Chains A and B, each alone.
Chain A
């Protein structure tokens, strides 16, 4: 069965600081990996995705993520956080023919001025 672990429930950073959100997955074959963001009162928006190829993927809003097969990880990074990045972030894994995604429990990001 596929699963996702986001070890950090809540992270607080200062505006302008760098950010790394952790994601570990379990999947039997080559996974499809995603990061979504949910701003307060908003729906989920796709930040970036990984299928194959270059293990460093770029997304929207200046985010990037690196796939590390040996560590079963897909961590999300941003070099300099803006106050508008305050939101909840979800990592998801999928694969196979039913296109089912399994989500982590989310990491809430607070940005201090």
Chain B
């Protein structure tokens, strides 16, 4: 069955530090997508990125980058030069049976000024 593990429950960094959020997944599918969502203190979930299992190239979007490694079943998320506004809970997620999204337990990131 699909499973997503985010082993880091909470991370605290000082502004401008780099931080990596880990995501490890299990799936029996040969092709699949992986997602990252952000939940800021206001509570709503915001879609960040979607990656296809065929594409293992790193993705970079501004200060955000994602490292997808099929060999280790990992899809890690790095924030470079973190800012206070990055403080949020971040979820990694994996679709299951077309209509279910299996979320990890989330990593709470606190960026201190």
- Are these two chains actual partners, yes or no? no
Which B residues have a C-beta under 8 Å from some C-beta of A? none
Which A residues have a C-beta under 8 Å from some C-beta of B? none
